Structure 1
Amino acid sequence: MSEHTIKATSRNVEGKGASRRLRHAASIPAIVYGGKAEPMPIQLEHEKIWLASQHEWFYASILDLDIDGKVEKVLLRDMQRHPYKQLIMHLDFQRVDAKQAIRVAVPLHFLNEDKSPAGKAADVVVTHELNEVQISCLPKDLPEFIEVDLADLTLGQTIHLSELKLPKGVEVPELKLGKEHDVAVVVARAGRVEIEETPAGEGESADVPAAKVEKDAE
């Protein structure tokens, strides 16, 4: 698990007006909650958070949230974006306990698809049914992503949740709910085969000119 530090500042003023002023000043209003401490309103620099938000680790890693010099371990739990502007409107962070398991959706990284028998075949379509998976683990065991090696993928093969190679200490809670929850992650299906057009005079006749059709209809 990599360490990523996010700097923040505590704030005393809350409400829509205060949040609006923060955004005008290129800052993001946010809240930190959970654990034994009270929820704490904070603010962060928009530019730095925007850059961080372009990376997977921002969404699926334990973050070191530095609030006025005091660091807390947190997870990003919610992000509100502007409907059409490149603006982050609000963030929710949850404190994590090193001894308590957490549930997090982590991205899947698909490897070696182009080297697999299915990936090399022109008439095979490889579909990624899932791009992330919900896992449970202690904070120290949280992976930034889970690799799915497709090197041996063949036509007609399906890779299910239960076949994922999980890091030590990591489990998929959904698998405990029954076999019907062991959903497909990757499927290799036969693609469409285009039918070649039959030349005129072989089989079906060629198109009849419109003028000819009108004359025959009279």
Structure 2
Amino acid sequence: MSDQLTLPAEPRERAGKGASRALRGEGRVPAVVYGAKKEPLSIHIEEKLLVKMLETGHFMNSVVEIKVDGGKHRTLPKDVQFHPVTSRPIHVDFFRLAKGSKVQVNIPCRFVDEEASPGLKRGGVLNVVRHELELMCDVANIPDEIVISLDGLDIGDSVHFSDISLPEGSTSVIDDRDFTIAGVTAPSALKSDAEEAAEDEEGVEGEEGEAAEGEEGAEGEGGDAQAKDGE
């Protein structure tokens, strides 16, 4: 699990688009803390510090302790809104964590042991079906990533959910099927060679069939000629 992040904040006294726009002009980002059967708390945070945390790559599955007005709120980021043109963060939702609770998070997959995959050594391509896994995790044990080994995978082989191990306290949100996470597929060059070989084989079979039909036709014509001579 990622180290807990700490984010100082200030209470947001005014709501509305105008107030939010003014905060952004001062380098602040409006945010809200909600959940755990408590009243929502409107706050604003420093944009530069938020961007720095976002750049870590694991902000969305890190526990963030928000300090405001002398109090501490243990949270999990649930949504970050970005400006459509500038891509600057313009609002953040934080979900307040209750002790002993579970939360739904998207955890990224990291694939290792590529050099131990016979299929990849032969030029196969890793086809990733799910870059993230939707998991229910204990708030005290949220993983940074799920490491998946490709050891032994040949062309045509796949990694399913049942093939991986999850941290203690984590379960899949999808529990009604053993879904595919990734697989090793044949490269386009091999596919083309196989297709050409199949087409060549079909062509040979077609030529043999036409030759056989021609022989049968010749035999039939010879029989008709003999019958006429007999008459």
Q: Which TM-score band applies after superposition, normalised by the shorter structure?
A: 0.7 to 0.9
149-158 or 74-83, which deviates more: 149-158
- SS of the residue 2:44 aligns to: strand
- Specify the code of the residue in structure 2 equivalent to 1:34: G
Do 2:80 and 2:93's aligned partners in 1 also have CA atoms closer than 8 Å?
A: yes
2-structure distance, mates of 1:192, 1:111 = 23
Q: 5 Å matches for 1:131-150? A: 131-150=131-150
The CA distance in 1 between the partners of 2:87 and 2:119, in whole Å, is 38
- SS state at 1:38 partner: strand
Give the aligned partner of residue 206 of structure 1: none
- 2:57, 2:70 → 1: CA distance? 25
Aligned twin of 1:7: 8
What SS class does the counterpart of residue 127 from structure 2 fall into? strand
Which residue is 1:77 aligned to?
78
Contact 1:138 1:169 in 2 (8 A): yes
State the shift of 1:139 in Å: 0.6
Matching residue's letter, 2:186: A
- What's the CA shift string for 1:107-144, capped at 9, x where partnerless? 1111122442222222x111111111111122112112
- 2:52 is the alignment partner of 1:54: no
> Counterpart of 2:186?
190
Shift of residue 63, structure 1, vs aligned partner: 1.4
* Worse-superposed segment, 16-25 or 67-76: 67-76
Contact 1:56 1:107 in 2 (8 A): no
Q: Would you say the 8 A contact 1:56–1:144 is kept in 2? A: no
Q: What is the TM-score with the length of structure 2 in the denominator?
A: 0.78
User: 1:205: which partner in 2?
Assistant: none
More displaced 10-residue stretch of structure 1: 109-118 or 14-23: 109-118
Code of the residue aligned with 1:173 in structure 2: it is: V
**Cross-structure match for 1:169:** 169
Assess if the C-alpha contact under 8 Å between 2:158 and 2:180 holds in 1.
yes
Secondary structure at 1:141's aligned position in 2? coil
2-structure distance, mates of 1:172, 1:73:
23
- Contact 2:108 2:144 survives alignment (8 Å): yes
Q: Which residue of 2 aligns with 1:212?
A: none
* Residues 68 and 110 (structure 1), Cα distance of their counterparts in 2 relative to 1, 3 Å cut: farther
Alpha-carbon deviation of 1:86?
A: 3.2
Letter in 2 for 1:5: T
SS in 2 for 1:162: helix
- Paired residue type of 1:130: R
Q: TM-score w.r.t. structure 1 length?
A: 0.82
* Preserved CA contact (<8 Å) 1:108 1:146: yes
**How has the CA–CA distance of structure 1 residues 66 and 114 changed in structure 2, closer, same or farther, with 3 Å as cutoff?**
farther
Correspondence list, 1:17-28, <5 A: 17-28=18-29
- What percentage of residue pairs aligned between the two structures are identical? 30
Alignment partners' CA distance in 2, 1:39 and 1:154: 52
The offset of 1:12, in angstroms, is 0.8
In the TM superposition, structure 1's runs of 4+ consecutive aligned residues that sit over 6 Å from their partners are: none
Match of 2:87 in 1: 86
SS at match of 1:17: helix
Contact 2:120–2:155, Cα closer than 8 Å, also in 1: no
TM-superposition CA deviations, 1:157-200 (whole Å, max 9, x none) = 1111222210111111212xx23xx22111111111256xxxxx
**CA-to-aligned-CA distance 1:32-71 (integer Å, 9 cap, x gap):** 1111321011001111101111123211122112223422
> Which stretches in structure 1 are left out of the alignment for 5+ residues?
196-218
CA RMSD of aligned residues (A): 1.5
The one-letter amino acid of 1:63's match is V
